[in-house]
Amino acid sequence: MPVAPNTASSMIVRTASNPAYTIYNLGQNQILLGQDIITSGQLGSDFNFAGPGAVVWDFLQNTLDLWVRHPSTIVVGGSGGTTFSVPVTQFVVYNINGNTITGSSPLGEIGQDWQVQGIGYFFRDPSLGQGDLLTRNVSNNTATYLAYDTENNQFNSFIVAAKVGANFNTAGLGAYFTLSGSTFAQLMVLSDGVGGLWEYAYSNGTLVNSQLFATIGNGKDWEVLGLGHFSSQFGLNMIV
């Protein structure tokens, strides 16, 4: 993912019991500073990191965003005035600046049968807003991916990012700019389970390209570990 310019890296960790969240500033291959940002008791023990990539830079607000989630229920009205409870996952975002929480907001709720796959920039250039949430659900042997547009600390809309066979799994998310810096795309890479890697590229909430771009092994002897900018700030590289 794109990183904040001219800043040191940061790492956020969560204790397993009596959850507390601590931010560590990293530089020169060492920890420079550690500071608690959410102390034990501020969040219930059922809160946890939202999923892969749950700490992401918000270029518009110039904050580091921490996404957390916890199980909840909402009451839905039925016919004849009846109501019933629906299990959901509630998401909350914390905005962090200078190792201090400067704001927080509930993002919204998503059904518990949808699993978080990561956070990317599907709807806009990262310089124009927050990261967006990617989720996956499997039903009737079909895997459906939904990307939620997040802006101003709330879910606004979503798109169906992909519908593929249930044998497909998320291999990684990455973002890249062209060499001129004029074109941005969010990339979602899916593995078909037999060695094929498929790329889905999005720009401004629209799928602009999808194709099989690599075949690695038989799908079992090699595993994608991540996508990043290892050779330049423009291209996107993959580690397996």
Tens-place pLDDT, residues 197-220: 888 888 888 888 888 887 876 556
Q: Do 66 and 54 form a contact (C-beta atoms < 8 A)?
A: yes
pLDDT category at 6 given cuts 50, 70, 90 is very low
**How would you classify the pairing of strands 63-77 and 237-239?**
unpaired
Tens-place pLDDT, residues 141-197: 999 999 999 888 889 899 999 999 999 888 888 877 654 455 667 778 888 878 788
- Dihedral in degrees, nearest 10, Cα atoms 52, 60, 21, 48: -40
State yes or no: pLDDT of 237 exceeds 70: no
pLDDT category at 68 given cuts 50, 70, 90 is very high
Higher pLDDT, 111 or 129: 111
State yes or no: pLDDT of 2 exceeds 50: no
Cα torsion angle, 152, 155, 157, 161, sign: positive
**Where is mean pLDDT largest: 21-30, 83-92, 131-140, 187-196?**
131-140
State yes or no: pLDDT of 130 exceeds 70: yes
State yes or no: pLDDT of 1 exceeds 50: no
State yes or no: pLDDT of 112 exceeds 60: yes
- What mean pLDDT, rounded, does the chain reach? 81
> What is the distance between the alpha carbons of residues 68 and 52, in angstroms, rounded to a whole number?
11
